[in-house]
């Protein structure tokens, strides 16, 4: 019991470092998005930075997971945290020397993303190393809180700091958080023995194992492909929400609004914690995604802060219901012995939708939809009478379209027999 309590204290130390790191990275993410859009006035420029901050971590995630199974996980966390600061230092130096160029920001976020890809797989595996199954149940909520901090805490802090200073302060704070997280990780590492994998398979072989686990069940494969379609629509609002809001308000309001709407996810997560879902997973998944689409459309409908707050809050509140249902349907239909490799592959496939959204949505907003709703635009005197006109209304209209298409996708998903069958096969792959 004493040993168990000591391990949990080590987890809390490690978790506190990751919480601080999450807040710091959230400050940079929010601040750079605001900065790039204000400097360029282009949603596509902001989307490019988002793409380069996301894609390296996604593409390297499976490789990083293999490294986490083969080498010292605490050391990988130290390297991931410490080296990812190099990209931020590069951006900060460029800013201190004068007006930073877009390509310099792109280089910096890419460097940071490449090294930070080492962090998450090693962190999750280290938590498993430290805790018993009973403790992990207790700790999982804390892990989710730390991960959500960049959405719940960082935007409002960043929005306030941008009113009294500029992006350079946010970068300095984020860089300083790396010293805290590296210190806490080293403190935990000093009390744990290093683990090495006695028999390491090739990366290609492990990738094939994961693909085999996913593809042999048609329902799982279809669900994963559908998920990538869903993430595309979600990526549209993620990319375009800040450009849409900055068209009629300022960064401090945007920061406060992002914190308020993201708290919807926290509220519904607590509800699910007390009233867990026990059946009807396909129905709950479809209904929650349909509602997500409706509230996404509401988010883009008008330049009205109250409407945007309510729609955004309900949008995030529906997400945990979809996530829990999706997780159950996949997890219970894949054999436990290959779940690690399968989830690594599922993560890559499902998040390809985000990559496509980051690559396309900014360009579509700037060069196709925005010109439609400015004065004299093709849709200014028709659709513009409903949703308004101006520089941010084309972006809002694109978000509305994405929301409606998400509703259609949710209806299609509910009517796919291969996905419905997943709910009744769940017990086949559960082991005691």
Which segment of 49-53, 142-146, 153-157, 174-178 scores lowest on mean pLDDT? 142-146
Percentage of the chain beyond pLDDT 90 is 44
184 near 13, Cβ under 8 Å? yes
**Cα Rg of the chain (Å, integer):** 22
pLDDT at 198: 45
Residue 319 in tokens: 């997400």
382-391 confidence digits (pLDDT tens) = 999 999 999 8
Inter-residue contact 197 to 70 (CB < 8 Å): yes
Mean pLDDT of 183-194: 66
How far apart CA 166 and CA 23 sit, in angstroms, is 17
- Cβ atoms of residues 243 and 43 within 8 Å: yes
Residue 432 above 50 pLDDT? Answer: no
Mean pLDDT, to the nearest integer, of 108-131?
A: 81
The tokens for 335 are 């054999």
CA 191 to chain centre: 32
Q: Is the pLDDT of residue 291 over 50?
A: yes
Q: Which residue has the higher pLDDT, 426 or 357?
A: 357
Nearest residue to 141 via CA among 260, 28, 272, 46: 272
Residue 288 scores a pLDDT above 80 = yes
186, burial (CB in 10 Å: exposed 0-12, middle 13-18, buried 19+): middle
Q: At what angle do helices 133-152 and 119-130 cross, to 10 degrees?
A: 150
Q: Say yes or no: do domains 1-187 and 204-432 share a fold.
A: yes
Residues 166-181 pLDDT 10s = 899 999 999 999 888 8
Mean pLDDT of 324-339: 79
Q: Are 295 and 403 in contact (CB under 8 A)?
A: yes
> What single string gives the DSSP state of each residue in 158-181?
HHHHHHHS-HHHHHHHHHHHHHHH
Residues 6+ apart with CB under 8 A from 242: 33, 34, 37, 46, 254
pLDDT at 429 over 70: no
Name the band, by pLDDT with cuts 50, 70 and 90, for residue 426: very low
The residue extents of the domains of the chain are 1-187, 204-432
Q: Do 303 and 388 meet the contact criterion of CB atoms below 8 Å apart?
A: yes
Asked if the model's pLDDT at residue 71 lies above 80, the reply is no
Estimate to the nearest angstrom the gap between the alpha carbon of 205 and the chain centroid.
Answer: 28
pLDDT of residue 228: 93
DSSP run (H or E) holding 406: helix 393-414
How many Å apart are CA 335 and CA 427, to the nearest integer?
11
pLDDT tens per residue across span 22-59: 899 999 999 999 999 999 999 999 999 999 999 888 88
What pLDDT shows up at residue 135? 66
Chain CA centroid to CA 408, Å: 23
The domain made up of 204-432 is a member of CATH 3.90.1570.10: no
pLDDT the model gives residue 4: 62
How much of the chain, in percent, has pLDDT values that exceed 70?
A: 88
Q: Is the pLDDT of residue 193 over 60?
A: no
**Per-residue pLDDT, 349:** 86
Whole-number average pLDDT of the chain: 85
Give residue 56's pLDDT: 87
- Between 40-44, 144-148, 291-295, 428-432, the lowest mean confidence (pLDDT) is in 428-432
Higher model confidence: residue 313 or residue 324?
313
Q: What is the mean pLDDT of residues 405-430?
A: 80
Residues 394/43, Cβ–Cβ less than 8 Å: no
- Superfamily of chain region 1-187: MFS general substrate transporter like domains (1.20.1250.20)
Q: Flag whether pLDDT at 401 surpasses 80.
A: yes
Q: What's this model's pTM, rounded to 2 decimal places?
A: 0.85
- Tell me what pLDDT residue 199 has: 46
- Backbone dihedral angles phi then psi of residue 183, each to the nearest 5 degrees: -65, -45
Neighbour tally for 356: CB within 10 Å: 17
Q: Which of 29, 107, 117, 108 is nearest to 80 (CA)?
A: 117
């Amino acid at each position: 019991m004493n040993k168990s309590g000591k391990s949990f204290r080590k987890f809390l130390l490690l978790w506190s470092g990751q919480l601080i790191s999450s807040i710091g990275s959230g400050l940079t993410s929010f601040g750079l998005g605001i900065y790039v859009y204000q400097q360029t006035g282009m949603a596509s420029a902001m989307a490019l930075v988002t793409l380069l901050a996301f894609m390296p971590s996604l593409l390297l995630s499976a490789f990083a997971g293999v490294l986490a199974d083969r080498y010292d996980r605490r050391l990988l966390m130290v390297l991931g945290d410490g080296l990812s600061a190099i990209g931020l230092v590069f951006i900060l130096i460029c800013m201190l020397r004068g007006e930073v160029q877009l390509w310099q920001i792109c280089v910096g976020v890419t460097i940071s993303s490449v090294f930070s890809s080492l962090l998450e797989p090693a962190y999750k595996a280290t938590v498993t190393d430290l805790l018993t199954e009973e403790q992990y149940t207790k700790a999982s909520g804390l892990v989710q809180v730390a991960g959500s901090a960049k959405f719940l805490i960082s935007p409002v802090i960043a929005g306030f700091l941008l009113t009294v200073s500029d992006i350079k302060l946010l970068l300095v704070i984020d860089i300083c958080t790396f010293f805290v997280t590296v210190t806490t990780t080293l403190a935990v590492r000093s009390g744990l023995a290093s683990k090495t994998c006695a028999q390491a398979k090739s990366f290609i072989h492990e990738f094939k194992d994961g693909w085999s686990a996913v593809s042999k069940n048609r329902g799982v494969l279809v669900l994963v492909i559908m998920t990538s379609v869903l993430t595309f629509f979600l990526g549209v609002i993620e990319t375009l929400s800040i450009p849409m809001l900055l068209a009629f308000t300022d960064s401090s309001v945007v920061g406060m609004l992002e914190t308020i709407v993201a708290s919807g996810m926290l509220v519904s997560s607590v509800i699910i914690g007390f009233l867990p879902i026990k059946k009807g997973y396909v129905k709950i998944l479809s209904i929650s995604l349909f509602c997500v689409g409706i509230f996404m459309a509401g988010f883009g409908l008008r330049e009205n802060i109250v409407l945007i707050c309510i729609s955004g809050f309900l949008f995030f509140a529906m997400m945990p219901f979809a996530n829990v249902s999706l997780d159950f349907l996949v997890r219970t239909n894949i054999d436990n012995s290959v779940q690690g490799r399968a989830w690594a592959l599922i993560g890559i496939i499902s998040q390809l939708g985000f990559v496509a959204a980051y690559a396309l949505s900014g360009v579509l907003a700037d060069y196709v939809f925005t010109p439609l709703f400015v004065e004299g635009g093709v849709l200014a005197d028709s659709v513009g009478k409903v949703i308004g006109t101006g520089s941010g209304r084309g972006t809002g209209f694109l978000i509305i379209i994405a929301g409606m298409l998400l509703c259609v996708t949710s209806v299609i998903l509910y009517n796919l027999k291969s996905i419905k069958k997943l709910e009744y096969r769940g017990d086949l792959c559960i082991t005691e």
